[in-house]
Structure 1
Amino acid sequence: MDRHLFQVLVVLTLSGLAFGSCKSQQMESNNGTLAGNLGLLEGNCMPGPGRPPCEPAPISGTIYITKPSERYQADLLIRKVDVSEDGLFSVKLEPGKYSVFVQDGDQITCTITNCPDQCYCLLVEIVDTKVTNQDVTINHATW
């Protein structure tokens, strides 16, 4: 009898682990992706005849993803993403709206503010299983 009870407990435990693993994979598979390039604009970008437009140069750095916010607040941080030297970044996120900030020297800054009904720093919306492309540019250029 004890052996039978032990076998039942083992089967139930393994079933629970398998179900939990599948549930975790299913939830992660519903995540969307935020992808883009981190770049730096610098130098004289004043438009003029015969001048090519300024293009951001890819840089390494750190992107901070928070709940929607007007300014960076550490208590709203969802993810911190290190960006490689080629400037490319990609991060899986649950569906929803987020603000994106960037490390610029010793400050965490907002590069663009969106104000549809309330102002938010670089507001992005992540959708189930989709890739949302959003480049982030630090602007040190002269205009």
Structure 2
Amino acid sequence: MPLLALGLLALTTSNDMGCSRSGMKGHVYLVKGNQMPSPDRPPSTPQGFETELFIYELTNLEQVTRVGSTSFYSQINTPLVKTIKTDASGAFSIKLPPGNYSLFVKKDGNFYANLFDAKNNIYPVEVLTGKYTDVEFRADYDAVY
């Protein structure tokens, strides 16, 4: 009987380990102010900031309620997978099963994401088996270009 229990424990552990090697990691940066290139001023460096990152199943522009023609959304109509708080430098790391996801942050009660693929999927990120996908999310809602 103890051998059977040990075998079940090993099976459970190996299944958990496969998932724990997949996910995403990176930083969320706040970009604000004048970002226009200028010979008199070097480009500003975006600052990491503490916020909450919302990870949804891959979300298309047709699956959200958009605020005007902006990159803000009042409602996302796909399942929320996970949320994670970044640290003071904007860094985060989260375990996720392999798949395709959309990322958002919030400002004033609305979701924000400003990156799209050719199919109008919002801030798409693919997580591959056994890998952590590097992400650099730029929240530039207060920037001028």
- TM-score w.r.t. the length of structure 2 is 0.77
- Alignment partner of 1:73 out of 72, 76, 90: 76
Maintained 8 Å contact 1:64/1:100 = yes
Displacement over 3 Å in runs of 4+:
none
- Alignment deviations for residues 56-98 of structure 1 (CA, whole Å, 9 cap, x no partner): 1111001111111024626411111111111101111111111
Q: Distance in 2 between matches of 1:93 and 1:137?
A: 21
Of the candidates 8, 16, 25, which is equivalent to residue 25 of structure 1? 16
Secondary structure of residue in 2 paired with 1:128: coil
Q: Name the structure where helix makes up a greater proportion of residues.
A: 1
Pairing of 1:15-54 with structure 2 (within 5 A): 15=6, 17-19=8-10, 21-29=12-20, 31-54=21-44
Normalised by the length of structure 1, the TM-score is 0.78
Mapped partners of 1:121, 1:75: distance in 2? 12
Gaps of 5+ in 2: 65-74
**C-alpha separation between the residues in 2 aligned to 1:97 and 1:75?**
12
Count of residues paired in the alignment: 131
Superposition CA RMSD, Å: 2.1
The structure 2 residue matched to 1:113, chosen from 113, 116, 124, is: 116
Q: Which has the higher contact order (CA 8 A, sep 6+)?
A: 2
Q: Percent identity?
A: 25
